[in-house]
Every structure is written in structure tokens, then in C-alpha cells.
Structure 1
Amino acid sequence: MTNQWKLKEIVLMSILGVVFGIIYLAFFLVGQAIQNILAPFGLAPFGYEVIFGIWFIVSIVAAYILRKPGVAFTAEVIAGITEVLLGTTAGPGLILSAAVQGAGAELAFALTKWKDYRLRVLIFSGMSAALISFVWHLFYAGNITLTPWLLVATLVVRVISGALLAGVLGKWISDQLAKTGVLRGYALGKELQKRRETGAA
């Protein structure tokens, strides 16, 4: 499999980035709502952490479908740019955060030399994005001022969220798309078709 991107892959990656950028923006409201619910119990910092994996999902979806170096990182940055263009309250700095998250997700695939896209690697990608973004937010968002127990607890919650909402859910969404046949011209679609042919043989 060549690592050179085809035009149709760039187009699909861009579409995914824009679509998930819109979804990401919507989830800021979800996180705020959860935060408001948890605030009276002194657990407001967990408001966004429980759903933080959503903000890595396009990296996993795009990489799992296209299977090329740099896709996870680039798709995440496109999503971040989309959020900024749509007027996120986080401001332009969000693009830098998206780059950090994308780099974290890309790391898992890089360690396999972009050859392994099984569920465990997708889960690891979500977890590595969670871990690296957590370190970034210690300083960028001032989370380092949280008490030690809260830091550890929010890290654990973010990593679990990354594993489930980005890794597991990202694979499921991609597989459902592939089953419709719309991805037949991409790596995931071709793999699914090959499996069907092998099973029928």
C-alpha cells in the first residue's frame, strides 16, 4: 500500500474533518451541561473529561478508513480549524490544541509503522491522544493548579473516554459506514470486500 495520498482520500479526510469539527463544537455545550450538573457536588472538572474522547474521534475514524501516515493528525487539525471558523469561544488557540491531540492519536499508528489498524491499536490511539492532550492542558488550560487527587482522577477519566469514545466508537462508526458500500474505494472498504470474498470462497 502506497503512502502517497490520492485526491479522493484528501477530499474524504477534509469532509470528515469539517463534519466532526461541527460535532466537536456541539459537544462543548454537552460538556458545559454536564459540568453544571456536577458543579454542586464539587466535580465540575469532570464535566468535559467524561466526553473528552469525542474530540479525538475524527483522528481514529479518518486513520482507520484511509490508513496513511499523517491522516490522524491532519484530520484533527482540520476539525480544529473548522471549530475556530464557526466561532468557538476557545479562540484560535484551539487549533494548537487540535494539533496536539492529533499528534497524540497519530503516535499509536506511527509505532506500528501505519500497518496495524486493529481495535487494540485504535483504542491505544484514543488513549495516547488523551494522555498527550492532558499533559498539554496542564499548562495551556491551567489544570496543573488542580489538587493531586483531582489531577489523577481526571486523567484516568480522560484516558478511559479516549479509549471508548474515540477508539471503540470510532471503529464502530467507520465499520457501519463501510457496510453501506460508500467506502468501497478506500482502504477500509477494500478490506471489508476482501473479507467478504474470502468468506464466500
Structure 2
Amino acid sequence: MAAPTTTSTPAHTGRGGSILATRPLMGWRTVDILTIAFLGAALGIAFWGWGVFYNGPLSAISFAFPPMQGLLTGPWFIAGVVGGLVVRRPGAALFCEVVAALVSMIPGTEWGATVLVSGIVQGLGTELVFALLGYRAFGIAAAVLAGAMAGPFAAFYESFTWIADWSFGWKLAYAAFLAISGAVIAGAGGWLLTRALAAAGALNAFPPGQEQRESRAV
């Protein structure tokens, strides 16, 4: 995943001191595409692994109050947050989430092709937040909001599929639990993961890598 340090680094600064992607904003580099693909694939394997163990805790938490199962869904939102934080270009969050969903679907899951649809929907929710922020804010607050927004998007889709027979109150509660899980696990967790990758030198060609270097220089 490490990229060569000879690649040009961003110079523009956005809100909260976030370093932005090199301009033009839509000018995706080859390293951007490859890194999103690698990140998405790695997180997709993690998605699949979480799906294997998901049903155990799901049974316990659903016994208390079925909508609370939304608290276990946050891990599936993290790819969009990390992709957006790393590349910081339009479509990065959606791209990474879709790649992760596709990779997690390949070994086979009980949810079949709906995994890919969920990935698209969740990625759109995350992407929307970065877009509303003008792709100029990438701190922990932006990450938390992006992770949280994937929740209502996922709840809306599932209200016509997996939870179609639930009452409106349960669906609303489920959306709230999804948002909480997305904010904490995908948002804060994704921000911490991105910082860890930057500290390890894996993101030297990207804004988080430059932010890490500048923080060490102070």
C-alpha cells in the first residue's frame, strides 16, 4: 500500500487545517486508484470476516431489542470513511466502499448480491458528507459525520428489504443505532486507522501522510 514519496504532495489547506488533494480535484492519479483498490480489497476481507462472526452477537442483542442490531453494523461502513480520508477526491469514499463490498461478496455470504447494493448505498451516504463539506474538511468531525450518514442510508434501503415488516418506530430506532455505530466505529475508527497508516509511512503520497510529516516537524 505504501506509495513512492516522489509523487507530488498536496499544498492546499482546507477547513480545520486539513491538507487537500492536489488540484484539479477531479484529477485522479494512478496512485489514487490503486490505493483505493488495495484499501477496499483489504477492508473487504475484514468485512467478510466480520460477517462470519456477526450472527453470534446479533442473536444476543436482537433478543433484547431487534433494532439494536444496528449497533453491530458500523464495521461495514469504515471503507467509505477511510477511502474519503485518504484520497480526498470526489468519489473516493463511494469507490472504496463498493470495492470492499464486492470483495467481501466473492467468498460467499448469506446476503448474496445484496451486499454489493448495500455497499453502494452506504458509500453514497458517506460520500454525501464529504461533498457537502466541499471536500475541504477531513478531520475527526468530518469522519464521524461521514460514518454516521451511512447509517440512515443503509436503514432506508433495508426498510424495503430485510426489515420491511418492522414498524415505523422500530425502523427509526434502527436508523439511529446504525448512525451511532457508524459514527463511532466507522467514523472515529476510520479516522484512527487512517492516522495509524500515515504514521506507519503507508500514505506518504497522500494528504494524511503530509499531515503526519508536518506534525512531526512542529
Q: Scaled by the length of structure 2, what TM-score is found?
A: 0.84
1:196 to partner: Cα distance: 2.6
**Cα pair 2:127 2:146 within 8 Å, conserved:** yes
CA contact (8 A) 2:94 2:126 kept: yes
1:65 maps to which of 58, 77, 86 = 86
Q: Is the counterpart of residue 120 in structure 1 residue 141 in structure 2?
A: yes
* Pair 1:32 & 2:55 matched: yes
Deviates more, 1:85-94 or 1:9-18: 85-94
Q: Greater relative contact order: 1 or 2 (C-alpha under 8 angstroms, separation 6 or more)?
A: 2
Opposite residue 78 of structure 2, the aligned amino acid is I
Is 1:162 the counterpart of 2:182 in the alignment?
Answer: yes
> Which of 192, 198, 201 is the equivalent residue of 1:181?
201
- Output one character per residue of 1:86-136: Cα deviation in whole Å (capped at 9) or x when no partner: 212211222111111100000000001111101111111011111111111
Give 1:37 deviation, angstroms: 2.1
| Distance in 1 separating the partners of 2:61 and 2:214 | 48
Q: Equivalent residue for 2:34?
A: 11
Structure 2 counterpart SS, 1:193: helix
Which has the larger share of helix?
1
Farther-moved stretch of structure 1 (56-65 vs 150-159) = 150-159
**Same amino acid, percent of matched pairs:** 26
More moved, 83-92 vs 155-164: 83-92
* Residue pairs, 1:68-147, within 5 angstroms: 68-141=89-162, 143-147=163-167
Aligned counterparts of 1:182 and 1:81: Cα–Cα separation in 2: 24
What per-residue deviation string (whole Å, max 9, x for no partner) do you get for residues 124-182 of structure 1?
101111111111110022x1321344223222211100000010010011101111112
CA RMSD for the aligned pairs?
1.5
1:42, CA displacement in angstroms? 4.6
| Inter-partner Cα distance in structure 1 for 2:89 and 2:61 | 40
Match of 2:77 in 1: 56
Take 1:22 and 1:182, find their aligned partners in 2: how far apart are those partners?
19
Unaligned runs of 5+ in 1: none
* Letter of the structure 2 residue corresponding to residue 24 of structure 1: F
> Do the aligned residues in 2 keep the contact of 1:24 with 1:55 (CA within 8 Å)?
yes
Number of corresponding residues: 195
